[in-house]
Amino acid sequence: MDPHHAAAALRWWSEVGVEFAVDETPRNHFADDWRPAPFATEPVPPQKAPAEAPMGAAGARERVGSERGRVEIAARDLAASAPDLVTLRSYLESFEQCGLKRTATQLVFADGAPGSRVMFVGEAPGADEDRIGRPFVGRAGQLLDRMLKSIGLERGQVYIANVVPWRPPGNRTPTLQETQACLPFIKRQIELADPEILVCLGASSAQTLLGVREGITRARGTWFAYRCDDGRTLRALAMLHPAYLLRQPGQKRQAWTDLRTLARELAV
């Protein structure tokens, strides 16, 4: 490649968020023969996962022969064994089965106060969160703070986390494998933080935690039942993500309506 084309390719990669040279040659990290770092479970001979295996615990059992199923089961067992948030955080610090950990600067676990009446869950940390180690501290986080203020809440009066606690390179959307590996941890984090109300910020959080299939613009403002693995049910609200509102300020009116819905519920 001549220098002119090489420079143009680099510029384009940088614009689309490619920040790391992971390998000399391209590799398909979505392929089934991908091997995570060894984990303390009995070795299971690799088999091909069913093309349309269901999500969640039943799906993980069906995929038990695949690397992905093993990771999900190991994550679920580890997360379920955490008796408190401090332990859960330390388990995540030593969890090597999500590839995002290798490219992120640090774990972004939570901010605010566990035990608050409301818990907000976003998608994944961005560059500022990755640098500082707390969720929602960049521009989207500053907007979230203003949104909270508008209904009389401070950050210290709510609890905030993400479905995925490591920044995906270039802020790309986490893959299904990455999300599934992290899912047991955020589910346990919700149980241990014990909020009355769960607010899913954005499509990814609402899809993963509430099983929302329609777009977030349809699901927002709607109450859902979030079922914890320990049998409890929480009221859950889907809302537009603050990062989306920064790109689409015209949608702030909808967010305001949803904040009022939340405030009314908290006033009860």
- 177 is a site residue for ligand URA (CB under 6 A): no
- 126 is a site residue for ligand URA (CB under 6 A): yes
Q: Which residue lies nearest ligand URA, judged by its C-beta?
A: 122
Q: Is the dihedral of CA 213, 215, 216, 221 positive or negative?
A: negative
Name the segment binding ligand URA (CB under 6 A); options: 11-19, 132-140, 213-221, 259-267: 132-140
Q: In terms of CB distance, is 136 or 159 closer to ligand URA?
A: 136
- 123 is a site residue for ligand URA (CB under 6 A): yes
Give the C-alpha separation, 237 to 147, whole Å: 15
Name the segment binding ligand URA (CB under 6 A); options: 35-43, 72-80, 138-146, 189-197: 138-146
Question: Helix, strand, or coil here: 106?
Answer: coil
- 119 is a site residue for ligand URA (CB under 6 A): no
Give the C-alpha separation, 187 to 239, whole Å: 19
Q: Is the dihedral of CA 40, 35, 56, 219 positive or negative?
A: positive
Assign 3-class secondary structure to 202-248: CHHHHHHHHCCCCCHHHHCCCEEEEECCCCCEEEEEEECCHHHHHHC
CB 67 within 8 A of CB 50: no
Q: State which of residues 99, 112, 135, 221 lies at the interface with ligand URA (CB under 6 A).
A: 135
- 107 is a site residue for ligand URA (CB under 6 A): no
Cβ atoms < 10 Å from Cβ of 11:
10
Q: Is the dihedral of CA 182, 186, 187, 189 positive or negative?
A: positive
- 140 is a site residue for ligand URA (CB under 6 A): yes
Q: How far is the CB of 184 from ligand URA (least distance, A)?
A: 19
Name the segment binding ligand URA (CB under 6 A); options: 15-23, 85-93, 130-138, 230-238: 130-138
Distance of alpha carbon 55 from the chain centroid: 15
User: Binding string, 146-175, against ligand URA, x = CB under 6 A?
Assistant: ----------------x-------------
Which residues inside 242-261 make contact with ligand URA, applying CB under 6 A?
243
Q: How far is the CB of 42 from ligand URA (least distance, A)?
A: 36
Q: How far is the CB of 47 from ligand URA (least distance, A)?
A: 34
Q: What is the DSSP letter of 49?
A: P
Name the residues that contact ligand URA, by CB under 6 A.
Answer: 122-126, 129, 135-136, 138, 140-141, 162, 243
